[in-house]
Homo-oligomer: A and B are copies of this chain.
């Protein structure tokens, strides 16, 4: 068994079996519009297995002009556990339609997706954020379908949205309903997520105004127990009794700050997070949070891509994605 340098091509297997490359292609791809005698089919399959043949994606993509890859672009902020739900569902949906999901993470803030999608030449790109108009146009021009998540709930044709403002509203309303009248907001110390943190905070503000409560006391909370403790102290000194946090990570920081000071939720400060992170379920006390239903999100995203793949017409707009309050002991 000599070491082979050259890639095994369909021509090799054509030669080995004494048929043409066209026939090989038909068999390998199980083309139904072309009848092939059982004998040659078997011979070809055997030779393929024997030689260890592997179709070469780029050549196939070039020839057909259509890739079976879908590129999911992940933003440059940290990936949390929630992403797993999204990926599982997306992968499953796409796979059953013959599409493969690959991901690319924007590592440096402001990095262009360009290098990745150009090299891949995917059928579609799913953007979770971090794709600007210039790039969006370039993709469309290059014939790549673009499906994005928008923040508002409206946007480009193939876009689905989750109104971030609703998240803040849900948080604030829950606290108001359970007797809190002076709220605080735990703002993230991470510039990369302002596109999310601002509208969420705005939702809290609006809810407070609606319900006749005071303006929320906004404090930036680092991922650090001692610094979070300082924030807690400030909130307490200003009469705050309930905190809406940007997400569960920062809610956990508030919990840690309380713990530092020998206090505890919900007695000293009620706190509600967002994302329904598994770590929140195991926190002390378990965290009240907002579930953003990533599976539904994935299904919608997949539907848009698959629709385009099958050449289906205009994507029906199913309206904005829903978020849901999950009550646990940190804000009962």
Residues of B within 8 A of A138 (CB): 52, 54
Contact of A105 among B91, B121, B259, B284 (CB under 8 A): B91
Do B225 and A253 touch across chains, with their CB atoms under 8 A apart? Answer: no
- A79-B78 contact, Cβ under 8 Å, with A143-B7, A278-B249, A284-B284: no
Could you say which of A34-42, A55-63, A156-164, A209-217 contacts chain B?
A55-63
Closest to A286 in B: B225
Q: Is there a chain B Cβ closer than 8 Å to A326's Cβ?
A: no
Contact of A78 among B62, B81, B120, B121 (CB under 8 A): B81
Do B119 and A67 touch across chains, with their CB atoms under 8 A apart? Answer: yes
Do A58 and B54 touch across chains, with their CB atoms under 8 A apart? Answer: no
Q: Is there a chain B Cβ closer than 8 Å to A256's Cβ?
A: yes
A92–B107 alpha-carbon span in the complex (Å): 7
Residues of B within 8 A of A84 (CB): 78-79
Residue positions of A touching B, CB distance < 8 A: 4, 7-8, 52, 54-62, 67-69, 71, 78-81, 83-84, 87-88, 91-92, 95, 100-105, 107-108, 115-116, 118-121, 137-138, 141-143, 223-225, 249, 252-253, 255-256, 259, 277-279, 281-286
Can you identify 12 A-B contacts, CB atoms within 8 angstroms? A54-B142, A56-B121, A57-B118, A71-B102, A78-B84, A79-B83, A91-B105, A100-B120, A102-B120, A225-B286, A252-B279, A259-B285
